Amino acid sequence: MRGLARLVGLLLVAAGFIGLVVDGTRSIVNETLAFSSLRSLWETVSPASLGHLQAAVTQHVHPMLWDPVLTEFLLLPASIAGLILGLVFLWLGQKPLEPIGYLASH
């Protein structure tokens, strides 16, 4: 399980870094600071699933969860969110630290 978490973490960190390079290049070309949001990335990959998620959240959970919470979350830059999520997966997949020294009870 740790290996899978580290693999997913590394892939997300790499995708976040690539996203930062793409956003930086776009910002230089347009001469303005521009980031791709999670919503625009989601709409590019699978536009129908975003509508399904919105319908499911508003009908089955609570409409207030969609409008102020998830809409603001989807405005985050995709590259920064990928980097943070990747670092969380890397942290979850790290090996336990070896104890230093020896136990005094032996």
pLDDT at residue 104, as a whole number: 67
Domain region containing 47 = 37-76
Both tokens of 101, joined, read 């020294």
Both tokens of 28, joined, read 């230089």
Are 65 and 49 within one domain? Answer: yes
Indicate the helix (H) or strand (E) that contains 7: helix 2-30
For residue 28, name the pLDDT band (cuts at 50, 70, 90).
very high
Are 30 and 16 within one domain? Answer: yes
> When comparing pLDDT for 50 and 13, which is higher?
13
Are 4 and 19 within one domain? Answer: yes
Does residue 106 have a pLDDT over 60? no
Are 3 and 29 within one domain? Answer: yes
Q: What is the mean pLDDT of residues 11-32?
A: 92
Are 41 and 71 within one domain? Answer: yes
* Residues 44-103: tens digit of each pLDDT: 888 889 889 888 888 888 888 888 888 888 898 999 999 999 999 999 998 887 777 776
Are 54 and 66 within one domain? Answer: yes
Indicate the helix (H) or strand (E) that contains 87: helix 78-92
Specify the number of domains making up the chain: 2
